[in-house]
Amino acid sequence: MKKYDLKHIRLHDLRHTCATFLLSHNVPIATVSKKLGHSNVYTTLDVYTHSVDKDDVEASNLLNEVVKSSTKS
């Protein structure tokens, strides 16, 4: 790592990155939770809420566009 001036990354950081990536690519929360070994999806949601929040904003924006386009007709 020193030779190539790479930042130290913990295994836990990779786990977090993987879960965030999967959630941001619309993998169902139940699937991500199972892959992480969580006993229930609420644990996953507690830890990775920031990913879900971003997707919620995108979903709201999409619905807003659909409503705007349907009222123009």
8 Å CB contact between 29 and 41:
yes
pTM of the model: 0.62
SS3 assignment, position 31: helix
- Alpha-carbon separation of residue 29 from 16, 21, 41, 59, 72 (angstroms): 14, 12, 7, 16, 35
pLDDT at 63: 84
Interval 6-61: pLDDT, tens: 888 888 888 988 998 898 888 999 999 999 999 999 999 888 877 667 777 777 88
pLDDT at 46: 87
pLDDT at 35: 95
38/5 Cα distance (integer angstroms): 34
Closest CA to 20 of 2, 35, 39, 8: 35
Arithmetic mean of pLDDT, 52-72: 79
